[in-house]
Amino acid sequence: MNFDTIDIELLALLQEDCKKTTKEYALKLGLSVTAVYERIKRLEKNGVIQKYVALVNKKEIEKGFTALCHVKLTQHTKKYVSNFERDIIKLTEISECLHLSGDYDYMLKINVKDIEAYREFIVSKLTAINHIGSTQSSFVIAEVKHTTAISI
Amino acid sequence: MNFDTIDIELLALLQEDCKKTTKEYALKLGLSVTAVYERIKRLEKNGVIQKYVALVNKKEIEKGFTALCHVKLTQHTKKYVSNFERDIIKLTEISECLHLSGDYDYMLKINVKDIEAYREFIVSKLTAINHIGSTQSSFVIAEVKHTTAISI
DNA sequence: CTTGAAAGGAGATATAA
DNA sequence: TTATATCTCCTTTCAAG
DSSP states of A55-116: EE-GGGGT--EEEEEEEEES---HHHHHHHHHHHHH-TTEEEEEEESSS-SEEEEEEESSHH
* Distance from the B131 Cα atom to the nearest Cα atom in chain A, whole angstroms: 17
Domain(s) of CATH 1.10.10.10: residues in chain A: 5-45
Could you read off the pLDDT of A96-113 as tens digits, one per residue?
999 999 877 999 999 999
Return chain A residues 25..84 having CB < 7 Å to nucleic acid strand C: 30-35, 38-39
Query: What are the residue ranges of CATH 3.30.70.920 in chain A?
Result: 59-139
What is the predicted pLDDT for the residue at A102? Answer: 86
pTM of the predicted model, to two decimals? 0.95
Q: Which residues of B touch A47 (CB under 8 A)?
A: 57, 60
The angle, 0 to 180 degrees and rounded to 10, between the axes of the packed helices B22-29 and B33-45 is 110
Work out whether the CA dihedral B40, B44, B46, B49 comes out positive or negative. Answer: positive
Q: Is domain A5-45 given the CATH code 1.10.10.10 in the classification?
A: yes
Q: What is the third-level CATH fold of A59-139? A: Alpha-Beta Plaits (3.30.70)
Which member of A54, A56, A139 has the closest CB to residue B101? A139
Indicate the DSSP class of residue B54. E
d(CA A112, CA A121): 8
The predicted-structure confidence for A31-78, as pLDDT tens digits, reads as follows 999 999 999 999 999 999 999 999 999 999 999 999 999 999 999 999
pLDDT of residue B102: 86
Strand C-proximal residues of A, range 96-135, CB below 7 A, are none
Compute the radius of gyration of chain B from its Cα atoms: 20
Distance CA B37, CA B96 (A): 33
φ and ψ of B131, to 5 deg: 70, 15
Chain Cα centroid distance, residue B44:
19
The C-alpha atoms of residue B128 and residue B52 are separated, in whole angstroms, by: 34
Distance CA A33, CA B108 (A): 38
Q: Compute the residue count for chain B.
A: 152
